[in-house]
Structure 1
Amino acid sequence: MEWLKKLSNAIDYIESNLDGEISYEEAAKIACCSTYYFQRMFSYVAGISLSEYIRRRRMTQAAFELQSTDTRVLDVALKYGYTSPTSFNRAFQNVHGISPAAAKSQGRVLNAYPPIKFSIQVTGGSALPYRIEEKEVMRIVGTRIPLTGDMEENKKLVPPFWNRVLQDGKFPEICELSNQFPHGVLGITAYQSSNEIYYYIAVATDKPVPEKMFEYEIPAATWVIFECNGHFKESVQNVFKRFLTEWLPFSGYTYAELPDIEVYPISKERPQEGYSEVWIAIKKES
């Protein structure tokens, strides 16, 4: 449960600085992880990106002030970090559906987004099948695209990438390279540095790297491997959330901040549903 406490402390930091500068780096430091992985974990647990959460919270507070005080719209905009009235107006309307000026009128319907609170809850007790395995260095080969630090933006980039790989004929070529464990088509998000974040469609292999493809080595690690059945997009996201909120807090392990691996069955077309696995690197709590 220690990591959830750290995540809660990071949220407290964000809440105390809604009307000031919020440093993602400082929030991640409080949560004891890198900035990238803090944003990644937050998006899985909260269901929205960190940037969207902060935007909603600031616009919630801004709406309270506009309705309960005589403060000018421009002053409220400046207080919550918007130097441009246009950008503040756009952000406010995205959250509330009306302009900041209109929000000052009585009877207007506004949306309030309360602070997120992380806690352990007793759910349905449904099974979460997993196994733990040690794995030596894993070499993958395939194609890739660059990602950003914005989790919401990344969600928009990955599906079209899969479609392009299928349409240009690379997918069968990638599948034929597979000759190492784990067997299957791998979807891998690899953070190498703040300027080098990639999503790979690849396989584990010891074969040479074909032209216009890339290789990448994942360090030796301990992996918790979750089995899932269903529509891949929904099941994979659900596994990550359950890993962070149900499995990790009681496991005696921490997140190792290595590339996460999605394992899909090899097929001539993009697999849509069925049996898949999610590999997440872990390490013993110190």
Structure 2
Amino acid sequence: MIGTLNDLVDLVDRHTDEPIDLAGFARSHGTTEYHLRRMFAALAGLPFSEYVRRRRMTLAATDLVSGGTGLLDIAVRYGYSSVEAFGRAFRSVHGASPSDVRTHGGPFTTQAVLRFRLTVEGSRPMDVTITDRPAFVLAGHAAQVPLMYEGVNPHIRQHIASIAPEEHARLKSLNDAEPEGILAITEGSEPDAPEGTPITYLHGVALQDDSATPEDLASISVAAGAWATFRSTGPFPQTLQDTWAATAREWFPSNPWRLRPGPTFVRYLELTESHADAEIWMPVERA
């Protein structure tokens, strides 16, 4: 996977005037677009589409400063059919117009070429279990919340606090499939969605595929397949988020599995204000 990501980075600079065929690139490298986008975003810290935009605008700024090339020619060189569209993209990255940068030489923001490397961090083993699960349903109380990668999401906390205690008991009584217990489920975002993207958060439980779902609950149908379950124990939420990040940074690059589309969720075995013993469930398939 590390080599594939570096090949993808090289492709960005070789093809500046057309959309990147990420699906075709993924197929030619024996993986999927979904997994590739998830791994790129997790390791680079930004979505692939955002990297492409920043990188192209970095190269465009260099062309502008160098002079001698018309603005429309530069726009076309970096995949834009009009000066107006190019100008909007340029300003969104650099905070200045192309004419300002051409006239004054800057300021502009530089996106360096990314280079991915596999490093050993802490040499700690990851506690993971791979299981095959039949199709099942996730049902519970849903809310639209902004995606957050660090810290406690106050929108999720507010949603959970708004659920009456008797509803928690009812959810547990409906739970008739693995995994057991209340689950913190996220679904509905792109695999490389940036922070702030609206996602569906479901405070719910797992039901058998043929179980009836109460009409007042939202539900997500989950296809049969393999699941990777990562155990995380330690200070909350830092350890849980570190474990989540380590799946992309350490586990997936060195194991023959890749993510497949589907909801991810956390099963809390024990949770206090400052400590959590939990499982992270991710849908996977053989790479």
**TM-score bucket of the superposed structures, by smaller chain:** 0.7 to 0.9
Counterpart of 1:276 in 2: which secondary structure? strand
Question: Structure 2 stretches of 5 or more lacking a match?
Answer: 190-198
In structure 2, the residue matched to 1:70 is 68
Letter in 2 for 1:155: L
Q: 1:227 aligns with which of 225, 228, 232?
A: 232
Q: 1:257 aligns with which of 255, 260, 263?
A: 260
In structure 1, the residue matched to 2:243 is 239
Letter in 2 for 1:15: D
1:107 CA drift (Å): 5.0
Letter in 1 for 2:226: A
1:23 CA drift (Å): 2.0
Counterparts of 1:150-229 in structure 2, within 5 Å, are 155=147, 162=156, 166=160, 169=163, 172=168, 174=171, 176-182=173-179, 183-189=181-187, 199=200, 201=202, 202-206=204-208, 208-212=212-216, 213-229=218-234
With over 3 angstroms needed to count, the CA separation of the structure-2 counterparts of 1:10 and 1:247, relative to structure 1, is same
| TM-score (normalised: structure 2) | 0.74
With over 3 angstroms needed to count, the CA separation of the structure-2 counterparts of 1:260 and 1:32, relative to structure 1, is farther
In structure 1, the residue matched to 2:195 is none
Distance 1:16 1:144 in 2: 47
What RMSD in Å do the two structures reach over aligned CA positions?
A: 3.7
1:65 CA drift (Å): 0.4
- Spell out structure 1 runs of 4+ moving beyond 6 A: 144-147
Q: Once the two structures are superposed, what CA deviation does each residue of 1:185-225 show, in whole Å capped at 9, x if it has no partner?
A: 1314379xxxxxx8562312345311043252342425242
Percent of paired sites with the same residue: 23
In structure 2, the residue matched to 1:25 is 23
Distance 1:219 1:112 in 2: 45
With over 3 angstroms needed to count, the CA separation of the structure-2 counterparts of 1:27 and 1:284, relative to structure 1, is closer
1:282 CA drift (Å): 4.3
Tell which deviates more after alignment, 86-95 or 182-191.
Answer: 182-191
Q: Does the 8 Å contact 2:225/2:285 carry over to 1?
A: no
In structure 1, the residue matched to 2:10 is 12
With over 3 angstroms needed to count, the CA separation of the structure-2 counterparts of 1:258 and 1:75, relative to structure 1, is closer
Q: 1:139 aligns with which of 129, 132, 136?
A: 136
Give the count of matched residue pairs: 266
Question: Structure 1 stretches of 5 or more lacking a match?
Answer: 148-152, 192-197
Distance 2:233 2:81 in 1: 47
| TM-score (normalised: structure 1) | 0.74
Distance 2:229 2:62 in 1: 44
Counterpart of 1:20 in 2: which secondary structure? coil
Distance 1:249 1:41 in 2: 9
